[in-house]
Structure 1
Amino acid sequence: MNAATLKHEIREFTKNLEGVKNYSPHTVAAYGGDLSQFHEFLVRHFSTERINPAEIDHLTIRLFLGDLLEKGKSRKSIVRKLSSVRSFFDFMVRRNVIAHNPGSNVLTPRLPRKLPVFLDEPSIDKMMNLPDTSTVRGLRDRAILELLYGTGMRLNELVGLDLGSLDLGNNTVKVLGKGGKERILPLGMKAKQALNAYLVRRTEGWAGTNRLNEAVFVINSGKRIYARAV
Structure 2
Amino acid sequence: MKELIDKYLKYLKIERNSSDHTITSYQNDLTQLLDFTAQHFEKEPDSVDVSDIDRLTIRLWLGELTEEGMARNTIARKVAAVRSFFKYCYKRSYITKNPAHLLIIPKKEKRLPKIVQAGEINEMMELASDPAPETVQERAILELFYSTGIRLSELTNLNVKDIQIHQHQLTVLGKGSKQRIVPLGDKALDAIKNHLQTRSELFTTKSSKEAKNALFLSVGGNRIYPRMVQRIIKKYLLKVSEVTQKSPHTLRHSFATHMLDAGADIRLIKEFLGHANLASTQIYTHTSVERLQKIYSQAHPRAENKS
Report the TM range for the smaller structure's normalisation: 0.7 to 0.9
Give the residue type in structure 2 aligned to 1:225: I
Which residue, 90, 94, 119 being the options, matches 2:91?
A: 94
Give the residue type in structure 2 aligned to 1:56: D
Change (3 A) 1:132 1:211: farther
- The aligned counterpart of 2:6 is 11
Which residue, 150, 154, 158 being the options, matches 1:157?
A: 154
Q: Distance in 2 between matches of 1:183 and 1:174?
A: 6
Change (3 A) 1:138 1:177: same
Which residue, 50, 53, 59 being the options, matches 2:51?
A: 53
- 2:129 equivalent to 1:132: yes
RMSD of aligned residue pairs (Cα, Å): 2.8
Q: Distance in 1 between matches of 2:202 and 2:52?
A: 61
- Trace 1:149-188 onto structure 2 (pairs within 5 A): 149-188=146-185
> 1:3-36 deviations in whole A, cap 9, x for unaligned?
xxx3333232222222322334443232222112
- The aligned counterpart of 2:263 is none
> 1:173-219 deviations in whole A, cap 9, x for unaligned?
11223343333211122211111122223224755886972322224
Share of identical aligned residues, percent? Answer: 38
Greater RCO, CA 8 A, separation 6+? 2
Contact 2:90–2:98 (CA<8 Å) still a contact in 1?
yes
Change (3 A) 1:205 1:170: closer
Relative to structure 2, which stretch is displaced further, 35-44 or 139-148? 35-44
Aligned pair count reads 224
- The aligned counterpart of 2:100 is 103
Change (3 A) 1:36 1:210: closer
Give the residue type in structure 2 aligned to 1:34: D
Change (3 A) 1:50 1:10: closer
Q: Structure 1, unaligned stretches of length 5 or more?
A: 1-5
- The aligned counterpart of 2:115 is 118
- 2:70 equivalent to 1:73: yes
Change (3 A) 1:107 1:171: same
Which residue, 28, 33, 36 being the options, matches 2:31?
A: 36
Which residue, 129, 142, 146 being the options, matches 2:143?
A: 146
Relative to structure 2, which stretch is displaced further, 198-207 or 155-164? 198-207
Give me the TM-score of the superposition, normalised by structure 2: 0.63
Contact 1:86–1:103 (CA<8 Å) still a contact in 2?
yes
